[in-house]
Structure 1
Amino acid sequence: MPLHLYRHAFSNLNRNIWILSLAMFINRSGSMVLLFTTLYMTRDLHFSIAEAGFVMSFYGMGSVLGSYLGGWLTDRKNHFDIMVSALISSGLILLSLLVITTPAGMAAVIFIYALAADSFRPANAAAIAEYSTPENRTRSVGLMRLAVNLGFAVGPAVGGFVALYLGYRWLFVIDACTGFLAALMLFLYLPRPATIPGRHKNEVLADSSTSAYRDLRYLFFIALVAVYGTIFFQIFASIPQYFKTVSGYDEDRIGLLMALNGILVVIIEMPLIAKLEKSKKIFRFIVIGVFCLPAAFALLYFGEHRLSFAILYTFVITLSEIFAMPFMMNYALSRPKKERQGQYSALYSIAYGIATIAAPSLGLGIADRYGFDRLFVILIVSSLFLSLGFLWMAGKEKTEHTESAG
């Protein structure tokens, strides 16, 4: 892409967005625990696979509850205190895994850790909304996603080295320390907003008509996001298993295909968003992203296990993420009143939390019972129906713009 697109993509963003993004990169660079905890439990602690699965299932439940709690707090406190507290408390909780080694104990810790860690998300979303404008909000979201993807690129590589040469327990220490470091950065460089809610805020919160739970169009949007996430997260839930057991790829080849997803996001997303963000009709870009889903799974269905088709699948599924996710979050941040930002953002985070829980059980469950070809057909059909829902939202968006123009 032309160099000027990259310059424009990163220009005129609020200084605080850069601080938030750097803190997110630091935190996500240490987020290697979830990738290796199952191996730690089965290899070092000698848990059965069923016991390890039981423990990790508590992460999804904690994530959903944490997102709700974070949203509730964000509407009543300030996002600064919640983000810093979430980073510090989740790090301290994680360190307890150094001494807690029973299945029940680890399940409890994982649940509380996820609750604390994911209470960060609605507060972070509120901070993005606070420090961005409608004109650069999608790019602000894109910069945050860039930081997350870079962090996830660093984390697994470092985590594998640490687990191999230092031992799994050092992963908990490093992850906790990166959380503490991210909290320190926010504490030192991010301004702390006033905590006095004021009469107007109390009046908005007391008015049930402003609640996200009364916004039927937004609730329909959240349901669509949850379905989208469940389908998209097959890239992590079932596709690696397909590449290993059906296509016969080795772990290094699978790892490179997964890394390609992150690399493409880093290279393409920000300049593409910079080109598209001036359009007020954001749902047409979401629809493009959703239509990429059936195309991606069709490549696997007809690809006959060839590597070229696996690479094309990775490219197309990444385009789905690039087109859909930033504009979805833009809608979630832009729709509510400022005083309801936490509640709306919490529902958005919960949608992905539900998708995280549903994706592996549905994807691997269908593949185990009916085979991967049947799974791909179901994903293709489901994606096409999902696109109809977002097309309806796009039509409503067009109506809103026509009414406001009139």
Structure 2
Amino acid sequence: MLVALVANPRIRRLVKETVGGLPREFWWLWVSTLVNKLGAFVVTFLALYLTTDRGYSASYAGLVASLFGLGSAIAALGAGVLADRIGRRPTLVAAQLGTAVSTAVLGFMDGQVAIAVVAFLVGLCNNATRPPTSAIIADLVPAEDRVRAYSLNYWAINIGFGLSAAVAGLIAVHGYLTLFVLDALTTLVCAVVIFIRVPETRPQEAEPGADRNAAEPRIGLLTVFRDAPFMAVVGLNLLLALVFQQGSTTLAVDMGASGITSTEYGLVIGLNGLLIVVLQIPLTRWMEGRSRTGLLIASCLFAGWGFGLAALAGSSAWLFALSVVVWTVGEILNAPTTMGLVAELAPTHGRGRYQGVYSLSWSLASFLGPAAGGLLLDRSGPGTLWLVCGLCGTAAALGHVALGRRTGGAERVGTDSVTEVAAPAAEAGKAPAPEKSPEKAPAGA
């Protein structure tokens, strides 16, 4: 049957349209991402390790998680700057080597202070991989293929996380130290793959004697923060990211309080990863040629009111499952679309910084979201929490409506046109508009 599917001309055409036309270097980066997430055991099981294996309190585990998030927030900006200054590949390789070493060390740490400090370093190094990875994709892949490339990369992340979560539970039975060591080893393998197979993609320096200021406009972090259209996108993403954070925190608490068993919770929340693996590619193909602004509006409404549906679930695991299905569709629509937009907004010589600031919105959400959601759940109850999630999704959707009107909102996903959102910043002298086709590094460089 598998042979018949492969031989089917229509299936072969669909596969070619989905994965074809992307640079070889992108696929090495994709493999590295998949391997890295397949071994990403520690982040997923850190709280469980601290409370069950080491016997620390839940409040201490929360403190460690916050320090991990603080490290991630610092890394988002620092790695973005380094990716532009010293290059994408050295920043990514250094971050992966740092993650491998700090993860292995964390497995041997004892004492609350030592564990907290090393967890901060793990968060710092782990999140430092995001800005250079996103910048490499933007450098390698033409504008018309970026949403597809980011979708494929996001697909690899979710395949890896889904499988690692399932396998980690079995490995942990034989000792949590094995999880730390395997996580470190897989990250080390990724660093080697990047070093050998992925070339430096940072735009070339100005030729000797050339007008350096004309060839390479100075782009600092202040330039990024003053880019109003881009920061509007970051702010809207932060609002939506705060909603998504409830999926791994307050949703579990509410389901447990409603009488949902841990087995049922695992099956319900597992739908998120399963649906992303199954639907990411088909939905990405459906998104091609459609209005980016329209997709972002729809994604915000699906995400916000997907969580909002949890207010009606009561003690029904089926209704909670329906809620997960709806907000997962929003996640699938939002992630690659927003990442493609950020890549196009970023000027060529500032992609690392722009991706770093965008990554900062997710880090801040992981730091603030669980605390804000937990406080709202305790003080006002689940109904209010899920209603607020719906309202946040609606506010983000209205924000994209306003942003789309300001910039014309006519850009389409999967075309070779560069979004017009960058134009106001360029006209104001804040940053140059991105080029239509970014420079590509020669193979094997």
Worse-matched range after superposition: 117-126 or 382-391: 382-391
Between Structure 1 and Structure 2, which shows a larger proportion of helix residues? 1
From 292, 299, 302, the counterpart of 1:282: 292
Shift of 1:235: 1.1
Is the alpha carbon distance of 1:202 and 1:226 closer, same or farther for their aligned partners in structure 2, counting shifts above 3 Å?
farther
Structure 1 residue 306 corresponds to structure 2 residue 293: no
Counterpart for residue 249 of structure 2: 237
Distance, in Å, in 2 between the alignment partners of 1:209 and 1:37 is 32
1:370, distance to aligned residue in structure 2 (A): 1.5
AA partner of residue 284 (structure 1)? G
Amino acid at match of 2:339: M
1:8–1:271 contact (8 Å) kept in structure 2:
no
User: Does the 8 A contact of 1:75 with 1:342 survive in 2?
Assistant: yes
Aligned-pair CA distance for 1:181: 0.9
Query: The residue matched to 2:336 in structure 1 has which SS?
Result: helix
- Correspondence list, 1:96-135, <5 A: 96-135=105-144
Cα 1:397–1:272 change in 2 (3 A) is farther
- Work out the CA distance in 1 between the residues paired with 2:211 and 2:301: 40
- Change in 2 beyond 3 A, CA 1:236/1:14: same
Q: Out of 49, 54, 65, which is 2:63 matched to? A: 54
After TM superposition, the structure 1 stretch with the greater mean CA deviation from structure 2, 141-150 or 231-240, is 231-240
Query: What does residue 239 of structure 2 align with?
Result: 227
The Cα RMSD (Å) is: 2.3
- What one-letter code is carried by the residue in structure 1 that aligns with 2:292? I
TM-superposition CA deviations, 1:341-370 (whole Å, max 9, x none) = 011000110000011111211111111122
Matching residue within 174, 177, 186 for 1:178: 186
Deviations 1:244-291 (A, max 9, x none): 221x22222211222211111111122221232334x31210111001
Query: Is 2:342 the counterpart of 1:321?
Result: no
Contact preservation (8 Å) 1:21, 1:147: yes
Q: Distance between the aligned counterparts of 1:201 and 1:259, measured in 2?
A: 55
Contact 1:135 1:278 in 2 (8 A): no
Give the TM-score normalised by structure 1: 0.92
Amino acid at match of 1:122: P
Shift of 1:172: 0.9
Q: Percent identity?
A: 25
Alignment length (residue pairs): 400
Q: Distance in 2 between matches of 1:323 and 1:367?
A: 28
User: Separation in 2 of the partners of 1:327 and 1:12?
Assistant: 19
Q: 1:192 to 1:294 in 2, by over 3 A?
A: closer
Equivalent positions of 1:342-357 (< 5 A) are: 342-357=352-367
Offset, 1:210: 8.9
Mapped partners of 1:393, 1:349: distance in 2: 20
Secondary structure, counterpart of 1:75 in structure 2:
helix
Any conservation in 1 of the 2:93–2:195 contact (CA below 8 Å)?
A: yes
Offset of 1:12 from its aligned partner? 1.6
Greater displacement, 197-206 / 35-44 = 197-206
Match of 2:439 in 1: none
Cα offset, 1:306, TM superposition: 2.0
- Matched residue, 1:206: 218
CA shift in 2, pair 1:41/1:396, >3 Å: same
SS at match of 1:233: helix
Q: CA deviation at 1:7?
A: 4.1
Residues 283 and 397, structure 1, Cα contact 8 Å, conserved in 2: no
- Does 1:250 pair with 2:258? no
Instruction: Give 1:188 deviation, angstroms.
Output: 2.4
Which segments of 5 or more consecutive residues in structure 1 lack a partner in the other structure?
none
Whole-Å Cα distance in 2 between the matches of residues 30 and 121 of structure 1? 16
Q: How far does the alpha carbon of each residue in 1:203-227 deviate from its partner, in whole angstroms, 9 at most, with x for none?
A: 3453569921220111121111111
